[in-house]
Amino acid sequence: MDLHAKTLTELAAGLDSGEYSSVELTQSLLERIAAHDEKLNAFVTVTSDNALAAAERADQARAAGEGGVLNGLPIVHKDIFCTRGVKTTCGSRMLDNFVSPYDATIVERLAAAGAVVLGKANMDEFAMGSSNETSFFGPVRNPWDLDRSPGGSSGGSAAAVAARLAPAATATDTGGSIRQPAALTGTVGIKPTYGRVSRYGMIAFASSLDQAGVITRSAEDAARLLGVMAGFDERDSTCLNEPVPDYVAELGQSIEGLKIGLVRQHFDEGLDADCSVRIKEAIAVLESLGATVVEVDMPNIDLSVPTYYVVAPAECSSNLSRFDGVRFGHRADDPEDLLDLYCRSRGEGFGDEVKRRIMTGTYVLSAGYYDAYYLKAQQVRHLIADDFKNAFEEVDVIAGPTAPTPAFKLGDKVDDPITMYLNDIYTIGANLGGFPGMSIPCGFVDGLPVGLHLVGHHFDESTLLRCAHAYQQVTDFHTACPEDFA
């Protein structure tokens, strides 16, 4: 049985019918990881023993007529989520020896629903990067072309799902780190509204921007997982107490009359011409399904990248100050004094991109520069959020490209931070405003996937999922598999 070829929803049906057991499914995927991950480097840790034990418990629960909505279904966690008894590294040398004593809220919720965790996925260090090249454990490779990046920071999650090593993975998105790798690997990625999913146990990069989400192979699979993960958590002060709809039940609703806005500023010379064609073809499909399309103007959206790269480093410099070599994480050998311990532990533990952002953040928060940089960036952030709110007075969904180009070659941008930062130019705005965003496969350019980006109003993930599902009912881009991993 080619179990790896099935989506999460298809696997659930097979488990329910008794076609195979969770142990058989889990063993099959573990063997596939062992056979293929050396080429991809998508995993930091593979939890074989834990996974098989969880699968056995799931089979026992099913035999007793018990178990949650994800009972026996295998997933992968991005290595930014604390997982009890398992190494949680954040892709950094700083946490290479850290074994979490507790579970993140979403880890708890997915486990309670019966999910089986195959391992922890590689990622850009502390989620800082757009190519998965800043990881202490080496770059992740794109299954569509092993010489190319899978995107970042959730590149390991995206590559694992695209290569059929796992049907689904958790991920995080601070400026596009779910949606951009989903676009570059031909997978589905959704970042829910800020505050929709608990951040408790998710190691912080930029606290006002970070949000947990998922990478899957279909909108239906994403709806299944998000329904389990979402909801209020009293342990997270940023988690909002909003009712969670039944995302799966709402998938089948028609998109007849849905108003879709195309951002004028997103179709400029910065967008690859062939990618632009694929996006417009996808929009035409949505129109054929009954949606109406209008152009919207967002005059401040082009300020998203500079605004983000003031706000995010400022928050990162504060969040990462806890990693000092004293309480946990990497500790320098034989320090001469306390200052030497701090300096060498942080110097050895952090990579170049993390250091760059810490230094930038410290600078913009410093006396004499706070008003000129950080305060001004927060003011512009409000203008960008207002652009979205004004657009949503006219439309239900904002659509456009997820990334300006298909997957780029490893090494092409790693020495040019500004060019790398611009790879998130279309996704950052949703984070600055806290809006839900989603990327779905919509075609290929030179054999490489292209993603359609959808943004919805606050707490309206249902409309994004419904729109994506409708598109996937009449197209098959999301079913395509890299040839070497079929």
Catalytic residue among 100, 149, 153, 317: 153
Instruction: Give the residue numbers spanning the domain of 31.
Output: 3-255
Q: CA dihedral defined by 431, 436, 437, 438, rounded to 10 degrees?
A: 150
The per-residue DSSP string of 316-341 comes to HHHHGGG-SSSSSS---SS-SSHHHH
| Domain-located, residue 361 | no
| Domain-located, residue 16 | yes
Determine the residue type at 22. Answer: S
Residue 206 structure tokens: 């930029």
Helix (H) or strand (E) run with residue 110 in it = helix 105-112
Catalytic residue among 6, 21, 22, 78: 78
Residue 30 structure tokens: 């573990």
Residue 202 structure tokens: 């998710």
- Categorise residue 140: left if φ over 0, alpha if ψ from -120 to 50, beta otherwise: beta
| Angstrom distance (rounded) from CA 291 to CA 286 | 6
pLDDT the model gives residue 315: 97
Q: For the chain, first and last CA: distance in Å?
A: 13
| Domain-located, residue 443 | no
pLDDT the model gives residue 417: 87
Task: Output phi, psi for 107, to 5 deg.
Answer: -65, -45
Name residues whose C-beta falls within 8 Å of residue 97's C-beta, 6 or more positions apart in sequence.
87, 329, 330
Going 191 to 192 to 193 to 195, the CA torsion angle's sign is negative
User: Is the omega angle on the peptide bond into residue 153 within 30 degrees of 0, that is, cis?
Assistant: yes
CATH of the domain at 51: 3.90.1300.10
Catalytic residue among 100, 149, 177, 345: 177
Helix (H) or strand (E) run with residue 172 in it = strand 169-173
| Domain-located, residue 74 | yes
Radius of gyration of the chain (CA): 21
| Domain-located, residue 273 | no
Q: pTM of the prediction?
A: 0.97
| Angstrom distance (rounded) from CA 12 to CA 4 | 13
Residue 409 a catalytic site member? no
pLDDT the model gives residue 1: 62
Residue 218 a catalytic site member? no
Structure-token match 């983000």, residue found: 308
Beta strands in 180-282 (DSSP E): 188-191, 211-216, 259-263
Digit-by-digit pLDDT tens for the chain (486 residues) are 699 999 999 999 999 999 999 999 999 999 999 999 999 999 999 999 999 999 999 999 999 999 999 999 999 999 999 999 999 999 999 999 999 999 999 999 999 999 999 999 999 999 999 999 999 999 999 999 999 999 999 999 999 999 999 999 999 999 999 999 999 999 999 999 999 999 999 999 999 999 999 999 999 999 999 999 999 999 999 999 999 999 999 999 999 999 999 999 999 889 999 999 999 999 999 999 999 999 999 999 999 999 999 999 999 999 999 999 998 899 999 999 999 999 999 999 999 999 999 999 999 999 989 999 999 999 999 999 999 999 999 999 999 999 999 999 999 998 888 889 989 999 999 999 999 999 999 999 999 999 999 999 999 999 999 999 999 999 999 999 999 999
Q: Provide the number of structural domains found in the chain.
A: 1
Going 100 to 102 to 106 to 111, the CA torsion angle's sign is positive
| Domain-located, residue 296 | no
Query: In 3-state terms, the chain is what percent helix, strand and coil (to 5)?
Result: 45, 15, 40
**What is the CA angle 331-333-336, rounded to 5?**
105
| Domain-located, residue 192 | yes
Structure-token match 């190691």, residue found: 203
Beta bridge partners of 268: none
Beta bridge partners of 454: 399, 438
Is residue 166 a contact partner of residue 76, using CB atoms and an 8 Å limit?
yes
Residue 191 a catalytic site member? no
CA 187 vs CA 160, 211, 304, 483: distances in Å: 10, 18, 25, 15
pLDDT the model gives residue 332: 96
CA 476 to chain centre: 22
| Angstrom distance (rounded) from CA 85 to CA 53 | 14
CA 164 vs CA 158, 161, 231, 352: distances in Å: 10, 5, 29, 32
| Domain-located, residue 120 | yes
